[in-house]
Amino acid sequence: MARPREFDTDDAIRKATAVFWEKGYLDASLPDLLEGMGLTRGSLYKAFKDKKNLFLLVLAHYDDEAVGAARARLTNASVPDGRDRIVSLFAALYAAVAAGDTRGCLLCSAAAGFEMSDPDIAAAVEKGMSGIREGLEAALRASPVHAGLPEAEQRALANVLLTQYIGLRVLARSRMPLGIVEQSIESIARLLDVEST
């Protein structure tokens, strides 16, 4: 009879998320993961198979938690103007950086890393990015300034906003001056006030 697992899998994934978030996929060593998760080598391999599989589970968890929260903000019908939802997403990014959070975004960091050469990791990252892009498109459809735009223009603007979001989240890890984030978000707000022609 198999022995029951002596740790909570969800808790272990949360702890692994913290390790990968701090060190990145490539630089997170097995000893780092074992220490951060409080597991033995045998327990880690038995439960998660290998580092890559663990990272894929971490990305799925991050997609549920962080990307899910971003999408919820962007599709929040209690905020009727989609422009306000988008500005709120960027304002939350600013608030996190202002509070000293220099972790950036795990998904964005992975997107900028060498791990993207792995097709499974690349697919998981693209899934998360698509979730944010879809949220941005939904917000644009709910914006009086942008609702009447052709779908292709809405998608193009959503891609521009996604690029800005990823860039700012990656730059947050570099401990850039807070003023750069503030100026960028002000520029994004102005962009959203300009009706495309």
Average pLDDT over all residues of the chain: 92
Tell whether the model's pLDDT for residue 194 goes beyond 80: no
Instruction: Supply the DSSP string of 129-184, one letter for each residue.
Output: HHHHHHHHHHHHHT-TTTTTS-HHHHHHHHHHHHHHHHHHHHHHTTT--HHHHHHH
161 or 194, which is more confident: 161
In the block, tokens 């975004």 appear at: 105
Q: Is the pTM of this model over 0.85?
A: yes
What is the reported pLDDT for 181?
A: 85
183 and 168 Cβ atoms separated by less than 8 Å: no
Angle 43-32-117 (CA atoms, 0-180°, nearest 5)? Answer: 95
Tell whether the model's pLDDT for residue 197 goes beyond 70: no
In percent, how much of the chain has pLDDT > 70? 96
What is the reported pLDDT for 3?
A: 53
Angle 188-93-15 (CA atoms, 0-180°, nearest 5)? Answer: 150
What is the reported pLDDT for 195?
A: 57
What is the reported pLDDT for 72?
A: 97
Burial of 43 (0-12, 13-18, 19+ CB in 10 A): middle
Tell whether the model's pLDDT for residue 172 goes beyond 70: yes
pLDDT tens, 95-130?
998 998 888 899 988 988 899 999 999 999 999 999
For residue 107, give Cα distances in angstroms to 49, 69, 88, 142.
Answer: 22, 14, 20, 26
Three-state secondary structure string covering 67-116: HHHHHHHHCCCCCCCHHHHHHHHHHHHHHHHHCCCCCCCHHHHHHCCHHH
pLDDT tens, 18-41?
999 999 999 999 999 999 999 999
pLDDT tens, 178-189?
888 889 889 999
What is the reported pLDDT for 34?
A: 96
130 and 68 Cβ atoms separated by less than 8 Å: no
Both tokens of residue 118?
Answer: 């792995």
What is the reported pLDDT for 1?
A: 45
